[in-house]
Amino acid sequence: MAQTITQKIFARAANRKFVDVGESVWLNVDVLLTHDVCGPPTFDIFKQEFGPDAKVWNPDKVVVLPDHYIFTANEHAHRNIDLLRQFAAEQELPNYYDVGTDRYRGVCHVALAEEGFNLPGTVLFGTDSHTCTSGAFGMFGTGIGNTDAAFILGTGKLWEKVPESMKFTFEGKMPEYLTAKDLILQILGDIGTDGATYRAMEFDGEAVYSLPMDERMTLCNMAIEAGGMNGIIAVDAVTEAFVKARTSKPYEIFHSDPDASYHSMYRYNVEQMEPVVAMPHSPDNRATVRSVAGTEITKSYIGSCTGGKLTDFMLAAKILKGRKVAVTTNIVPATVLVASQLETEMYEGQTLRRIFEEAGCNIALPSCAACLGGPADTVGRSVDNDLVVSTTNRNFPGRMGSKHAGVYLASPLTAAASAVTGKLTDPRDFL
């Protein structure tokens, strides 16, 4: 029987040859990811259910990356970091990346890739909805709650329903003004925030395979914004080169069978697409940037797991080089590595950091920061009636802080172009 790539990964993890769409199966978990917001309650449930002296099923497979509320004076947030530290010590977890040490990495989904935890063919569960980001590596990654994560900590297993798949094929050569963010916002506008609920979103086509891993991660990251269980891109030479440069662990490559069946198939030609935004207050509220150009904004924000990777900043630098921003513009590198790359990567003879500083941007320390609002002292948090253009992934009411603010989700090119004019601006005006 023909299977999709997601079915094949499920079958491997369930020790089966074939799994059928819609059946619930128990999966053996390769990696469990958690962070400072959901780690402490997960550990509480684990101890309550398995006993105070219980040991996790496999310490090597538990990855703890604090990233949400790091640079804040909030005492409760500090306590959550202490609880992670304590649990990691008790359980002797080798993959704990402590705050305030040189092991600190930053935003978990980006750090997982950097540290070589993303392996083709494997199953990753994480206590964060954007765990689907890792699907860019030809693997299954999805978000879960604390109870499910505690169950995995004790048993190494979890039940999951085999999802139906939707296929999104992007043909053509990527124009320089278009990014992965535009592609996923286009899809969201077409299928809505529940258009892929409980389904796999498979991305395919020459335009997708022309993208670097950073951009493929942006595509998969926002599968959850359509309600998707996972986003997935099959492995090619680009994936393998990235993985092999970071780990020597073995992995298995799967591809969808040519006759696999899909819930639906969508085809796009990227050469006919244009930069888009998601207007307040929903990621599927799509408009072309041209159609809303001139809308006043109060802030620009370039950061997060979906919009704070090196490629995002390279794109922003193309527009910000030699220009000044007209509104408060926050540059928030996802990880310590990305932050260091801002100092070393050049565009037209200047480091990215220098370009952003000369443009008048504020460069923040690596964490999730204001993508999800966060404690009151979080850098970039929206206030009052702010109108923010942001490379992040959600713009539901109150997401970046103030309940009265509005957020326009956009590509780093659009966020940079809009920062320069203080109004929503199509990046083609500057390229």
Partner 1 sequence: MESIIQGKAYVLGKNIDTDQIIPAEHLVYSLSNPEEVKMYGKYALSGVPPEQAGLPEGNVPFVPEGSYASPYSIIIAGPNFGCGSSREHAPFSLKVAGAKAIIAESYARIFYRNCVDGGFVIPYEASQPLNKLILTGDELSIDMKNNTVTNLTQNVTYQLRPLGSVVDIVQAGGIFEYARNNDLMAKSEA
Minimum distance from CB of 315 to partner 1 (Å)? Answer: 26
Minimum distance from CB of 270 to partner 1 (Å)? Answer: 27
Distance CA 162, CA 18 (A): 11
Q: What is the DSSP string of 277-315?
A: EE-TT-TT-EEEHHHHTT-B-SEEEEESTTT-SHHHHHH
Minimum distance from CB of 246 to partner 1 (Å)? Answer: 22
Residue closer to partner 1 (CB basis): 151 or 242: 151
Distance CA 269, CA 397 (A): 32
Strand ranges in 79-146 using DSSP code E only, listed in sequence order: 123-126, 140-143
Least Cα distance to 368 among 111, 179, 43 occurs for: 111
Minimum distance from CB of 172 to partner 1 (Å)? Answer: 31
Residue closer to partner 1 (CB basis): 159 or 176: 159
Distance CA 414, CA 389 (A): 8
Distance CA 261, CA 125 (A): 25
Q: Applying CB under 8 A, which residues contact partner 1? A: 24, 26, 28-29, 37-38, 40-41, 44, 49, 57-58, 61, 68-69, 74, 76-77, 79-80, 126-129, 131, 143-148, 151, 154-157, 159, 193-194, 197-198, 224, 227, 229, 282, 372-376, 394, 396-399, 401, 403
Contact at 8 Å (CB) between 355 and 319? no
Least Cα distance to 140 among 218, 201, 99, 54 occurs for: 201
Sign of CA dihedral 387, 411, 418, 192: negative
Angle at 302 between CA 301 and CA 304, to 5 degrees: 110
Minimum distance from CB of 169 to partner 1 (Å)? Answer: 24
Residue closer to partner 1 (CB basis): 79 or 173: 79
Minimum distance from CB of 93 to partner 1 (Å)? Answer: 14
Residue closer to partner 1 (CB basis): 341 or 367: 367
Residue closer to partner 1 (CB basis): 226 or 235: 226
Distance CA 411, CA 312 (A): 8
Residue closer to partner 1 (CB basis): 286 or 353: 286
Residue closer to partner 1 (CB basis): 145 or 422: 145
Minimum distance from CB of 58 to partner 1 (Å)? Answer: 4
Distance CA 204, CA 210 (A): 10
